[in-house]
Amino acid sequence: MPDRDDDFYAIPGPTYLQQADVFDDVPLFDLPTLNQLVLLRELDTLARVDELRPGSFAVVDENDAYKPFYQGAREYVVMSAARGAALLITQTCNIDHADELLVSPLLALEGTRIDRGNLFAGKYASLFGLRAHPDGLYDESYIDLRILKAVHKEQLDIEDRVASLQPVRQFAFMGQIATAIARDWGNAAGEEVEEDGKYRCLRCNRWHDIGENPVIELRKGQLFPRCERCAALNGKSAQWQLLFRYQNY
C-alpha cells in the first residue's frame, strides 16, 4: 500500500497555474520518427492546407507533395499523440506570457526498477517522484526530466488540473530541475583555488537559519577551506563559488 502523504499535495491548489501542477488528459505529442514528414493536403487538389479544420484530407509523403514548405510556407504535418496526466514544467512567472508550455508525462512507478526510497529522497538526478493521487486518479508515479513535451496553453486548462504541490515540495522539485538540467557547481574543501577572488559557499546560501554566510578571499594556489556551516548540516561538503562584482546583466 503506497504512503498517503497528506503534506505532498495542495488540493485545491491556487487559482492560477503554477509550476509542478498536475493535469489530466494533456495531449502528449510524439514527434515523427521518419526523416521525411507526412503532410496533410487538400483532398481534391493536393494543395497546401491554409487552415486546419475537421474534414477529409489527403495524407502525402513530403517527397511526393507539390512544392512542400514552398518559400517558408507552413504545412500541417501528421504526428501521433496520446492523452495522459502530465506535470507542468514551465516556471510559474512565465506561464502567463508563453503560448507554449513545457510538460512532462507522469509515468507509473510500479513495474519499474526504480528504487522508491531513493526516488522520493531525490537521489535520481533526472527523476522526480509523485505520491499517489489522494482521490485515486493515479498511482505512485514519477516524471523523467529528460522527457519534456510542449503543449499550447489552450490545451492546458485549469479545469483539468488535478493536483498542485505543497510549497515545500515545489522547492524540492526546483532542486530536482536544477540537478537534472543545470546542476550548480562549486569547489569542495581541499581543492586548489585557480583564481584570486572573493568566494561564498553556494550550498548553504539557501538557508536563512544556519548563521551568516560570509564572503571569503582566496588566492590562486591556496586550498579551499571547509565550510563550517555546511559541515554542521549532516557533514555536507562546501560548494565554493567565485563571486563577481554586480552589474546590470
Which residue's CB is nearer to Zn ion, number 106 or number 230? 230
Please say whether the beta carbons of 21 and 91 come within 8 A.
Answer: no
Stretch that binds Zn ion, among 5-13, 49-57, 111-119, 225-233 (CB under 5 A): 225-233
Type of residue at 190: G
Closest distance of CB 203 from Zn ion, Å: 5
Closest distance of CB 207 from Zn ion, Å: 9
199 binds Zn ion (CB under 5 A): no
201 binds Zn ion (CB under 5 A): yes
227 binds Zn ion (CB under 5 A): yes
Closest distance of CB 168 from Zn ion, Å: 21
Q: Nearest to residue 46, comparing CAs of 37, 54, 56, 36?
A: 56
Closest distance of CB 80 from Zn ion, Å: 48
Which residue's CB is nearer to Zn ion, number 108 or number 233? 233
Tell me how far apart the alpha carbons of residues 8 and 169 are, in angstroms, rounded to a whole number. 6
Q: Which positions from 202 to 221 touch Zn ion by CB under 5 A, shown as an x/- string?
A: -xx-----------------
Q: Nearest to residue 162, comparing CAs of 2, 19, 6, 25?
A: 25
Q: Which positions from 228 to 247 touch Zn ion by CB under 5 A, shown as an x/- string?
A: -xx-------x---------
109 binds Zn ion (CB under 5 A): no
Return contacts of 70-78, CB within 8 angstroms, 24+ apart.
Answer: 73/48, 75/37, 75/39, 75/40, 75/48, 75/49, 76/39, 76/40, 76/49, 76/52, 77/32, 77/37, 77/38, 77/39, 77/40, 78/32, 78/37, 78/38, 78/39, 78/40
- Residues in contact with Zn ion by CB under 5 A are 201, 203-204, 227, 229-230, 238
